Amino acid sequence: MKDKSEIMLADSIEPLLEVRNLHMQFPIRRGAFRRTVGFVKAVNNVSFHIRQGETLSLVGESGCGKTTTGRCIVRVYEPTSGQILYKAEEQEPIDLAKLDNRNLRPFRRQIRMIFQDPFSSLNPRLSILQIVGESLKVNRVASGSDLEDRVASLLKRVGLRPEYIRRYPHAFSGGERQRIGIARALALNPRLIVADEAVSALDVSVQAQILNLLQDLQEELNLTYLFIAHDLSVVEHISHRVAVMYVGKIVELATTEDLFTNPLHPYTEALLSAVPKPDPRLRNKGVRIRLEGEVADPSNPPSGCYFQPRCPYAEDRCRHEEPAVREIEPDRWVACHFAEELNLRGFEAIGQSMKR
């Protein structure tokens, strides 16, 4: 894997993908005539960029909007508003949010997705040759014996035996199925891959194998990842930068090292305190931040800061004034009125307090 500082210090690299003020709302319909009575703001004014060869992780609790963000980028969903600027080779950035299905087709080859569940994401009626080779046939890249050779080569690249191409998904374990999903994503030589909880459904030992495979492929093929996850220990291992989401908004974005050692948002601090410690002597000891209350309703969010009903540091200003996302220092963004004043504990500090 490329050294994290190598990409992070390369500020001159033009972003491969830039998301600006992205909104995705789903209507709430009720009654016999299915009238719209409100909207769920699943993604609410989200902005970030990803550089070529970088891994940016989106993290947060279930329902925070991270998967919806990823699906907007690959245009499974049509965004309500905002821009998704993609830098194609030797072209000016293209706003994918404005393209219709016909004009999106060449970009679908360059932006692919790895799905969360390796069991439901593969059609049990199709062989591996049909699953992995489908996009090659649809895009008229290969057919016949050439198609078989390409699929066999893809299986070998992801660590599976080429002779498996005639088998069906039921014959494979969860980790092997996810490798098939990765081979399918690689079939058209993409530049950007959206990995939606790509290892969350796998055993821990298998997770490590898949993460190592993704890193090797990134180094070999110069891939760029948007890695969607909720497990911060996995995120720390694979990411160059991390964006923390809460109720459809990004509340903090920083390099992995900065975010884990010096969080600036109280929600990030709470997430870090929940990361399991591998040392059994530290189990059930030390500091664990337990947030009170429930996650805000995205269809009826609270006034001011969305996190203020659960924030242990909230003041009156937080209840009335929504914090803007501010760049505290280069490539370090946070949405908190008191980010410079709070002395929050990072992962290492929490671990040290546990050892006392």
In-domain check, residue 4: yes
More confident residue, 276 or 56: 56
Q: Average pLDDT of the chain?
A: 89
Instruction: Tell me the residue range of the domain where 50 lies.
Output: 1-110+227-356
In the chain, how many domains are there?
Answer: 1
In-domain check, residue 163: no
pLDDT at 203 (0 to 100): 87
In terms of pTM, does the model score above 0.75? yes
| Rounded Cα–Cα distance for residues 145 and 29 (Å) | 50
pLDDT digits (tens, 9 = 90+) for 322-343: 999 999 999 999 999 999 999 9
Displacement of CA 56 from its chain's centroid (Å): 7
pLDDT at 154 (0 to 100): 96
CATH number at residue 13: 3.40.50.300
In-domain check, residue 81: yes
pLDDT digits (tens, 9 = 90+) for 74-115: 999 999 999 999 998 878 899 999 999 999 999 999 999 999
More confident residue, 214 or 2: 214
In-domain check, residue 63: yes
In-domain check, residue 54: yes
| Rounded Cα–Cα distance for residues 310 and 288 (Å) | 15
Q: What is the mean pLDDT of residues 12-28?
A: 91
In-domain check, residue 91: yes
**Residue 337: what are its φ and ψ, rounded to 5°?**
-65, -30
Residue 325 near residue 47 (C-beta atoms within 8 A): yes
Say yes or no to pLDDT of 350 above 60: no
Q: Which residue has the tokens 């989106």?
A: 58
In-domain check, residue 125: no
In-domain check, residue 130: no
pLDDT at 348 (0 to 100): 62
